Amino acid sequence: MSSAGDAAMCNIASHLPKMARLQPDALAVVFPTGLDANGTRTYARQTYAELDKQSDVIAAGLGKAGITRGMRTVLMVKPGPEFFALTFALFKAGIVPVLIDPGLGIAQLKTCLAQAEPEAFIGIPAAHAARVVLGLGRKTIRLCITVGSRWLWGGTTLAKVIALGEGQGTGPVLVHTQADDIAAILFTSGSTGIAKGVRYSHGNFAAQVELIRKTYDIRPGEIDLPTFPLFALFDPALGMTTVVPDMDFTRPANVNPMKIKHAIDDWGVTNVFASPALLATVSRHGVANGVQWPTVRRILTAGAPVPAATLERMHQMLAPDAEIFTPYGATEALPVASIGSREILTDTRVRTEAGAGVCVGRVVAPNDVRVIAITDEPITDWAQAHVLSAGQIGEITVAGPTTTSMYIGRPDATRSAKIQRDGAIVHRMGDVGYFDESGRLWFCGRKSHRVQLDGVTLFSAPVEEIFNTHAAVFRTALVAATVGGIRIPVLCVERDADAQTRSPLSERALFDELKTIGAPYAHTENIAHFLIHPGFPVDIRHNAKIGREILTVWAQAKLS
């Protein structure tokens, strides 16, 4: 790392003391705590001044406990008061939080921790129990802090860390980090293989804050309901109040819609960040029960394409001037492009349903997005890439201030995903798509999900969106199978449960109708194999990314 004074300071945590000075008594975070004796919903509150002071105390205490600048530290704490204070304390102290979705599974967790090589572990008792029993991070973790009661394992507790920090009495803590210094390791969702640890710099985070602020006109004083915990960490930098929803963050599709409604009503929520799966659940319930979200002005949703039907239902619940935005990007670079629901519903939807793919909008400046010819091989230098013209489907690449530089402990993945161009890092999104005649970017699916047949390549989104128009279909997934020695396309189908209840349709009748729907289009006219699946496997984080690798194995077994 560079020494202090070599370059301008850039620490993502610096936004918090700034907001604490500008609006000390404004609420930073609100947490649901249950019901009182009268059945009234209760909340804990933390102002900007309180969060800033608490994170200073913890940052000082961590140093006294031996966790110091640059140390990689696993953070496994449920969204709540401790999560926010700890995260900002780590950033302030220059400690590197390692953030992993706890629902990834034992094998993935072991692999992720082995790649990250953390030296410290901060977690709730259940996380420590899993760490000890499963041997997570055994080779590298040497310092442990328990948030709550410590059981049989070693280390100390957060309460003792706080006592150490209070005893030190040093005041504000904010180390002099710079834009290129590592700030955190965030893991991908693991939807297409083993989750990868993305190296985030303080500059990456700072750029994300500014791009999100400018792109969506977010202003201090707004009230945010983030149903994805990591997105909540942007709120203090944006001057928003975070209202933590009462939900299981690993199962957004199973959210209780009324708990979301209550939080919105109790706090006048203006902004919601939610996965497409959560919006599908709350919108179905909302339209059926006349639920309104009158204060919400803006919804941001990411993780997978959002069905137009979901957008339509959501608009029935929102005020007339509200908008739903679908920012396109990935853990490695976000936001890359963006489009609003009104443009989707009045313009691009028709083309999507006719097999053009999913429009993800216009590039968010100053990102530089280019589409290159598809290859599964690494591209070490930009001179080896072939840039395609508008209308040609290829791999989407991006270079910009939020583009991350590497994966931690995965040099093979870094080589496959990063390209050098004039000293800058270009990230290969792993998605395929194209630019249309007006400069909008269209998504055609993951590169690894394309189905290559004899003389033709089928891309998942253009195929699936045609069949998703059937009223009895919830979603579809294109995979390939080998039958009689010939590789064929197979469409896995997940029924719409409500539609099947209202108007039952036999498999044969549904398949016949799907063939009729696909017949007019060159890329779907020859799809003749359909399989009903009881419920697609999806990612833990968003419950929206379909596990096509798993479906491919399932489909092959069904057809063998």
**Banded model confidence at residue 164, pLDDT cuts 50, 70, 90:** very high
Report yes or no: 236 and 502 within 8 Å, Cβ to Cβ: no
CA angle 519, 525, 527 (to 5 degrees): 120
Burial class (CB in 10 A: 0-12, 13-18, 19+), 231: middle
Q: Return the structure tokens found at 353.
A: 């349903």
**Banded model confidence at residue 204, pLDDT cuts 50, 70, 90:** very high
- Mean pLDDT score of the chain: 94
Is the pLDDT reported for residue 456 higher than 80? Answer: yes
Say which amino acid occupies 512. Answer: D
Lookup result for tokens 């640890």? 197
Lookup result for tokens 């706090």? 267
Q: Which of 22-36, 189-203, 329-343 has the lowest mean pLDDT?
A: 189-203
Cβ-based neighbours of 357, under 8 Å, separated by 6 or more = 433, 434, 442, 443, 444, 445, 459, 461, 462, 465
Report yes or no: 497 and 474 within 8 Å, Cβ to Cβ: yes
What is the reported pLDDT for 170?
A: 66
Q: What is the pLDDT of residues 507-539, one digit of tens each?
A: 999 999 999 999 999 999 999 999 999 999 998
**Banded model confidence at residue 5, pLDDT cuts 50, 70, 90:** very low
**Banded model confidence at residue 70, pLDDT cuts 50, 70, 90:** very high
Q: Return the structure tokens found at 3.
A: 């020494």
Is the pLDDT reported for residue 366 higher than 80? Answer: yes
Is the pLDDT reported for residue 301 higher than 80? Answer: yes
CA distances 331 to 195, 278, 406, 470, Å, are 11, 19, 12, 32
Is the pLDDT reported for residue 4 higher than 50? Answer: no
What is the reported pLDDT for 6?
A: 56
**Banded model confidence at residue 2, pLDDT cuts 50, 70, 90:** very low
- As a whole number of angstroms, the distance between CA 137 and CA 197 comes to 15
Is the pLDDT reported for residue 3 higher than 60? Answer: no
Q: What is the pLDDT of residues 267-298, one digit of tens each?
A: 999 999 999 999 999 999 999 999 999 999 99
Report yes or no: 216 and 302 within 8 Å, Cβ to Cβ: no
Lookup result for tokens 């249950």? 34
Does residue 510 or residue 249 have the better pLDDT?
Answer: 510
Query: Could you give the percent of the chain with pLDDT greater than 90?
Result: 87
- The residue extents of the domains of the chain are 12-203, 356-447, 450-559
Q: What is the average per-residue pLDDT within 50-65? A: 96
Lookup result for tokens 């210094």? 181
- As a whole number of angstroms, the distance between CA 32 and CA 244 comes to 7
Residue 476 Cα to chain centre, angstroms: 21
Say which amino acid occupies 363. Answer: V
**Banded model confidence at residue 103, pLDDT cuts 50, 70, 90:** confident
What is the reported pLDDT for 497?
A: 87
- As a whole number of angstroms, the distance between CA 300 and CA 213 comes to 12
In CATH terms, the fold of domain 12-203 is Rossmann fold (3.40.50)
Is the pLDDT reported for residue 542 higher than 70? Answer: yes
> HSE on the CB side for 176, CA within 13 Å?
9
Q: Which CATH architecture has domain 450-559?
A: 2-Layer Sandwich (3.30)
Report yes or no: 118 and 98 within 8 Å, Cβ to Cβ: yes
Q: Is 141 helix (H, G, I), strand (E, B) or coil?
A: coil
Cβ-based neighbours of 301, under 8 Å, separated by 6 or more = 273, 274, 275, 276, 279, 324, 325, 326
Q: What is the average per-residue pLDDT within 187-204? A: 89
- As a whole number of angstroms, the distance between CA 258 and CA 246 comes to 10
Residue 275 Cα to chain centre, angstroms: 8
pTM of the predicted model as reported, rounded to 2 decimal places: 0.94
Backbone angles phi, psi at 491, to 5 degrees: -105, 115
Q: Return the structure tokens found at 218.
A: 């977010």
Is the pLDDT reported for residue 46 higher than 90? Answer: yes
Q: What is the average per-residue pLDDT within 442-467? A: 96
Say which amino acid occupies 199. Answer: R
Say which amino acid occupies 392. Answer: Q
Report yes or no: 385 and 314 within 8 Å, Cβ to Cβ: no
Count of CB atoms within 10 A of residue 392's CB?
12
Q: Does CATH place domain 356-447 in 3.40.50.2000?
A: no
Report yes or no: 74 and 113 within 8 Å, Cβ to Cβ: yes
CA distances 190 to 100, 101, 107, 228, 310, Å, are 10, 9, 12, 16, 25
Backbone angles phi, psi at 522, to 5 degrees: -60, -35
Q: Is 89 helix (H, G, I), strand (E, B) or coil?
A: helix
Q: What is the pLDDT of residues 322-348, one digit of tens each?
A: 999 999 999 999 999 999 999 999 999
What is the reported pLDDT for 1?
A: 37
Name which of 223, 251, 214 is nearest 102 in CA terms: 251
Count of CB atoms within 10 A of residue 340's CB?
15
Reduced 3-state DSSP string for 145-195? EECCCCCCCCCEEHHHHHHHHHHHCCCCCCCCCCCCCEEEEEECCCCCCCC
